[in-house]
Chains A and B, each alone.
Chain A
Amino acid sequence: MEKNNTFLVFIKKNISLAAFVILFLLFSCTTTGKFLRISNLLSVLTASTDLLICSLGATFIILMGSIDLSVGSMISLCGVIAAKIYLSTNSILLTLFAAVLVSAVCYLFMGVIHTQLKVPTFIVTLGMLSIARALVTMVSGGSITMIDYNGKIKQIFGLRPWILIIAIGLFAAVWVVEKFTLFGRFTRLVGGDENVARLSGVNVKKQKILVFLFAGLLTAIGGIVMAARIGSGSPSVGQGYELDVITAVVLGGTAQTGGVGGVRGTLIGVLTIGILANGLILWGMPSEVQLLIKGLVVIFAVAVSTERKQNMIVR
C-alpha cells in the first residue's frame, strides 16, 4: 500500500515523463519500426527545436504567474525580420541583432504596460498577439521572404547538427539561470507570492520586466530557428503557436498559478508533444485529429497531476 502510494505520487509529479514514456512505447510498437528509426527520431528533435526555445522563455513567464499569448505572432515577426535583414546584409550577427532588438522592444513594451499600468499579462499579451501579427503583415507586405538553402543562416539555425546544438545549449544555459542565479530565484519568489516577494525586498516590477525581456530574447532566437528550419520568413506562420507553447510548459509540470515547475519539465513537455505529433502522422491521422488528441492530452495530464485538495479555487 505504502509503496503503491509513493509510486502514484511519483507519477503525479512526473506526469509528462509518464506520458512521454507511454507514448514512446506505444508508437514504438505500433508503427512497424518506422518511429524508432534514427532518422525519424532526429527529425522529431529537429522539428521541436523552435518550440523548445520559445517554451524556455515562456516557462519563466508562467513560473512568475503570468502568461504570454503573443509568442506565435512574435516568432513570425522575428522570422520575417531575420529573413529580410539576412537577405539584404548577409550578416548573421546583424540578423540576430535585428531580430533580438525588435523582440526586446515588443516584450519591454508588454512588461512596462503590465507593471506600470497594471494591465494583466493575459490582456497585454493578447493585445500584442494582434499588434505583432499586424506589424509582420505590414513589414512583409503579406508575402514570404525565402531563405537560401545554402546560406549560412540556414546551415546554422535550420539544419542539423547546429540547430540541435543551439537548442541543447540554450536549454542548458536557461536551466542554469533558473537553478543557480538570483534572477531564477526571484522569478520563483514572485510566482510563489508576489506580495511576500515584495515584502522580502524583491523589486517585483523590475523582475517582471526583466523576465519579459528574457523571454523576448528566447522568442527572437526561436523565430529565427523557425524561419531557417522551414526555409522562409512567413507572415502567416505561428498562428495558434502560443497554445503549443503553453501546452508544453503546462504538460511539463509548471503550474499556471506560478512558482512551481521549471525548464526541465518543459523539455519533456516539448518532446512529448513532438513524438505525439510524429506518431499520429505515422499512424496516418489527419491533422484535425492530431489537434483533437493534443487537446485531450493536455487536459488529461493537468487533471491527473493537480492536487485538488490544495486548490480549493480553480480559475
Chain B
Amino acid sequence: MEKNKSAVVLRGLKKYFPGTKALDWDEDDIIEVKAGEIHGLVGENGAGKSTLFQILMGIYDMTGGQMELFGKPYKPKSVYDAEKAGLSIIMQQPNFAYNLTVAENIFLGQDKKFLNKAGMIDWKRQFEAAKEVLHKFKFDHISPTALLSELGFEETKQVEIARALSSEPKVLLVDETSAAISKSSVDTLYQLLKEQRDKGCAVIYISHFIDEVHELCDRVSILRDGRLITKLEINASVSPDFIIQNMVGRDVSDAVYRSEASHSIGEVMLKTKGLKKDGEFEGIDLCVHSGEIVGIAGIGGCGSDSFGKALFGYDRIQGGEIYFKGKPVKINSPLEAMKLGIGYIPKDRDKEGLFLIYDSVVNISAANMKNVSKNAVINHRMEQKIAVESIQKFLIKTPSETTSVSDLSGGNRQKVAISKWVVNDSEFLIVNSPTRGVDVGAKYEIYKILEDLKNQGKGILLISDELPELIGMSDRVYCFKKGKISGEFTRDVFTEERLAGQMV
C-alpha cells in the first residue's frame, strides 16, 4: 500500500437521532486519514466518536454528509459491506458469540474459507489457521479450541484484536481499547498498531487517555458535542493540555457544576467495612454523610460498578459489613435496599433503569407504588399528578406524560430514570454515570438536580468514569483501582492529575 495516500475522507457528517444530534458537522468540515498514519479521535462522552465509527462500519446510516474510501465514494449498508471494503474494528465492548470457540470467533462469517470437498467445515484447518493468527500477534497462551466464555476479560480482548487484524485491514478502527486492559497488553497493542501503520494501514484511534493519544498518534481530530472542533498535527508545540483544552472547550471551573457550599453535610449515613466480592472488589471501607456527594473514580473494570450494585442488593457481597444510619444492615435484594431508603440510578438506563415500552407515568412511579396506592389499589390520578410535576420540575422534554419513554432522547430518559428515585423520597442515592450519553444541555440540568438533592440532605454516591464530573460535583472522591480503594481526596485538594494518578 502506498503511504501518505488519502485512505478515508469524511466530509460534513451528520447523524440525527430523535431529540439529539449525535454528529452535526458543518458542510465543509473534513477529516482526512492517510494510509500509514495513526489518527487520533478525541472528545468527551457524547462528542460523537463512537457514532462516527458506527457509521464507518455500516451500523448506522448517515443523516447527511459524504465519505470516501481510497478516492471512491463509500456508503456501507452493513458491517459486511464495511469489512469487504477493508475496514476492521476493535470495539470498546467486544462483540462475540460466547458459546463458540476462539477459532470460530476469529473466523466468524468466513467459514467458507474452510470448506472441505464434502462441503463441511474443516475444523482442523480452521484451528490451525486460528493458531497461526494468534501466534502472529503473540497471543500464544490462548488456545484456539477454548470456548470464548471460558476466557478472562483480557484474553477476550486479545482475541478481538487478533480477529480484527487477521483480515489484514486497510483501515483499522480502535475504540478506547486501552481503558480495559493491563499495561503490558496496552504496550503490545501499541506495538501492533505501529506495525499496522508501518504496513500502510490507516488507523483511527479513539481514546480518553490524552497522553497516550499524544504519544501514539500522528494527527488528532477533536470532536465536541457532535461538532468537529479542530484538527491538530502532533509535534513538539502541541501539548496534551492543549488537546484537553480544545476537547473540553470551556473553562472546567466549578461554577458550571455546583456551588462550593458544603453546609448541607450532616451525620454519617452509610458506612461500609471490608466489603468484598470475589473478582470485583475487596476491603472497601468508605462512608457517605447526609447532604454529601461522594465520588468513586476508576477506569472500567475497577470494581466500582459492581460495588454500586452490591450496595443496592443487586450483586451479592461475600463479606464485610454495611451500616446505614449507624445500624448494621443486610441488603440482599433491591427491595430490601429500597425499604431502607436507598435508590439506584443505573449506568445502563435502558436496560436497568427504564421500562422502555411504557410511558413516563409508569416509569416514574415504578419504585413508588407504595405511595401511590392504598390497600393495593392504585390511585391513578395521584400517579399522573406526580409524573406531571416531575416533568415540569426536571424540565423533561416529552410531548406528554403518556408518551412512551423510548421516544425520548437520552438526556430526557435519564431525567425520567432519576425522577423515579426522587419521587419515592429515597434518602440515599447510588448514581452511576448519570450523564453517560447525555447531551450537554441536559448534563448540567442533571448536575443541578443532584445538587438540589444534596442540599435537601440526601446522601449521594456518584460513580463515574468522567473525571471533570467527579471533580465538579463531589465533596470527596475515592479512587478505585483493581477492586481496592487506592486513594481518598477532599474537595479542596483534588485535581484531575491527582485522581488519575491513583486510578491507573
Given the complex of chains A and B, what is the CA–CA distance between A197 and B334 in angstroms?
10
**Which residues from 68 to 116 on chain A have a C-beta closer than 8 Å to any C-beta of chain B?**
none
B349 to chain A, nearest CB (A): 10
A195 within 8 A of B: yes
User: Which residues of chain A come closer than 8 Å to B338, judged between CB atoms?
Assistant: 201
Given the complex of chains A and B, what is the CA–CA distance between A189 and B378 in angstroms?
14
User: Which residues of chain A come closer than 8 Å to B366, judged between CB atoms?
Assistant: 189, 196-197, 200, 202
A169 to chain B, nearest CB (A): 19
Q: Are B373 and A259 in contact (CB under 8 A)?
A: no
The residue in chain A whose Cβ has the minimal distance to the Cβ of B379 is A180
Given contacts A185-B378, A199-B346, A200-B420, contact A193 B355 (CB under 8 A): yes
- The 13 listed contacts between A and B (C-beta, < 8 Å) are A180-B377, A182-B373, A185-B378, A189-B355, A193-B351, A193-B357, A196-B366, A197-B355, A198-B333, A199-B312, A199-B346, A201-B334, A259-B358
B352 within 8 A of A: yes
**Which residues from 178 to 195 on chain A have a C-beta closer than 8 Å to any C-beta of chain B?**
180-183, 185-186, 188-189, 192-193, 195
Q: Are A259 and B378 in contact (CB under 8 A)?
A: no
**Which residues from 326 to 375 on chain B have a C-beta closer than 8 Å to any C-beta of chain A?**
333-335, 337-338, 344, 346, 351-358, 362, 366-367, 369, 373
**Which residues from 234 to 261 on chain A have a C-beta closer than 8 Å to any C-beta of chain B?**
259-260
Return the CB mask of A148-190 against B: 1 if under 8 Å, else 0: 0000000000000000000000000000000011110110110
A203 within 8 A of B: yes
Q: Are A192 and B346 in contact (CB under 8 A)?
A: no
User: Which residues of chain B come closer than 8 Å to A198, judged between CB atoms?
Assistant: 314, 333-334
Partner of B354, one of A180, A196, A203: A196
Given contacts A196-B352, A199-B352, contact A260 B357 (CB under 8 A): yes
The residue in chain B whose Cβ has the minimal distance to the Cβ of A255 is B357
* Majority secondary structure, A binding face: helix
Q: Are A192 and B420 in contact (CB under 8 A)?
A: no
Given the complex of chains A and B, what is the CA–CA distance between A199 and B362 in angstroms?
14
User: Which residues of chain A come closer than 8 Å to B335, judged between CB atoms?
Assistant: 201-203
- A interface residues with partner B (beta carbon < 8 Å): 180-183, 185-186, 188-189, 192-193, 195-203, 259-260
Q: Are B376 and A192 in contact (CB under 8 A)?
A: no
The residue in chain B whose Cβ has the minimal distance to the Cβ of A181 is B376
Given contacts A199-B344, A201-B338, A201-B367, contact A181 B357 (CB under 8 A): no
Q: Are B355 and A199 in contact (CB under 8 A)?
A: no
User: Which residues of chain B come closer than 8 Å to A202, judged between CB atoms?
Assistant: 335, 366
The residue in chain A whose Cβ has the minimal distance to the Cβ of B354 is A196
Q: Are B376 and A182 in contact (CB under 8 A)?
A: yes
A195 to chain B, nearest CB (A): 6
A230 to chain B, nearest CB (A): 37
Given the complex of chains A and B, what is the CA–CA distance between A200 and B346 in angstroms?
11
Q: Are A200 and B358 in contact (CB under 8 A)?
A: no
User: Which residues of chain B come closer than 8 Å to A186, judged between CB atoms?
Assistant: 369
User: Which residues of chain A come closer than 8 Å to B333, judged between CB atoms?
Assistant: 198, 203
18 new A-B pairs (CB below 8 Å) besides A182-B378, A199-B352, A200-B366? A181-B378, A183-B376, A185-B378, A188-B358, A189-B362, A192-B355, A193-B354, A196-B351, A196-B352, A196-B355, A196-B366, A198-B314, A198-B334, A199-B312, A202-B335, A202-B366, A259-B355, A260-B357
Partner of A195, one of B351, B358, B373, B420: B351
User: Which residues of chain A come closer than 8 Å to B369, judged between CB atoms?
Assistant: 182, 185-186
Q: Are B357 and A192 in contact (CB under 8 A)?
A: yes
Given the complex of chains A and B, what is the CA–CA distance between A199 and B424 in angstroms?
14
6 residue pairs, one from A and one from B, having the closest CB atoms? A192-B355, A201-B338, A200-B366, A200-B367, A201-B335, A182-B376
User: Which residues of chain B come closer than 8 Å to A180, judged between CB atoms?
Assistant: 377-378, 380
Q: Are A259 and B357 in contact (CB under 8 A)?
A: yes
User: Which residues of chain A come closer than 8 Å to B378, judged between CB atoms?
Assistant: 180-182, 185
A15 to chain B, nearest CB (A): 18
User: Which residues of chain B come closer than 8 Å to A182, judged between CB atoms?
Assistant: 369, 373, 376-378
Given the complex of chains A and B, what is the CA–CA distance between A198 and B346 in angstroms?
13
User: Which residues of chain B come closer than 8 Å to A183, judged between CB atoms?
Assistant: 376
The residue in chain B whose Cβ has the minimal distance to the Cβ of A203 is B335
User: Which residues of chain A come closer than 8 Å to B380, judged between CB atoms?
Assistant: 180
User: Which residues of chain A come closer than 8 Å to B346, judged between CB atoms?
Assistant: 199
The residue in chain B whose Cβ has the minimal distance to the Cβ of A201 is B338
B18 to chain A, nearest CB (A): 13
User: Which residues of chain B come closer than 8 Å to A188, judged between CB atoms?
Assistant: 358, 362
User: Which residues of chain A come closer than 8 Å to B376, judged between CB atoms?
Assistant: 181-183
A174 to chain B, nearest CB (A): 15
User: Which residues of chain B come closer than 8 Å to A189, judged between CB atoms?
Assistant: 355, 362, 366
Q: Are B367 and A193 in contact (CB under 8 A)?
A: no
Q: Are B356 and A193 in contact (CB under 8 A)?
A: yes
Q: Are B377 and A181 in contact (CB under 8 A)?
A: yes
User: Which residues of chain A come closer than 8 Å to B352, judged between CB atoms?
Assistant: 195-196, 199
Given the complex of chains A and B, what is the CA–CA distance between A220 and B382 in angstroms?
36
B428 to chain A, nearest CB (A): 14
User: Which residues of chain A come closer than 8 Å to B312, judged between CB atoms?
Assistant: 199
User: Which residues of chain A come closer than 8 Å to B355, judged between CB atoms?
Assistant: 189, 192-193, 196-197, 259
User: Which residues of chain B come closer than 8 Å to A197, judged between CB atoms?
Assistant: 355, 366
Given the complex of chains A and B, what is the CA–CA distance between A196 and B355 in angstroms?
7
Given contacts A181-B376, A181-B378, A182-B373, contact A199 B334 (CB under 8 A): yes
Given the complex of chains A and B, what is the CA–CA distance between A181 and B354 in angstroms?
21
Given the complex of chains A and B, what is the CA–CA distance between A199 and B367 in angstroms?
8
The residue in chain B whose Cβ has the minimal distance to the Cβ of A260 is B357
Given the complex of chains A and B, what is the CA–CA distance between A151 and B486 in angstroms?
80
User: Which residues of chain A come closer than 8 Å to B351, judged between CB atoms?
Assistant: 193, 195-196
Given the complex of chains A and B, what is the CA–CA distance between A201 and B313 in angstroms?
10
The residue in chain B whose Cβ has the minimal distance to the Cβ of A176 is B377
User: Which residues of chain B come closer than 8 Å to A199, judged between CB atoms?
Assistant: 312, 314, 334, 344, 346, 352-353
Partner of B334, one of A181, A192, A200, A260: A200
Given the complex of chains A and B, what is the CA–CA distance between A259 and B380 in angstroms?
18
B307 to chain A, nearest CB (A): 16
B371 to chain A, nearest CB (A): 12
Given the complex of chains A and B, what is the CA–CA distance between A259 and B357 in angstroms?
8
Given the complex of chains A and B, what is the CA–CA distance between A210 and B9 in angstroms?
60
**Which residues from 280 to 321 on chain B have a C-beta closer than 8 Å to any C-beta of chain A?**
312, 314
Given the complex of chains A and B, what is the CA–CA distance between A192 and B358 in angstroms?
8
User: Which residues of chain A come closer than 8 Å to B344, judged between CB atoms?
Assistant: 199
Given the complex of chains A and B, what is the CA–CA distance between A199 and B337 in angstroms?
10
Given the complex of chains A and B, what is the CA–CA distance between A259 and B359 in angstroms?
12
Given the complex of chains A and B, what is the CA–CA distance between A252 and B378 in angstroms?
24
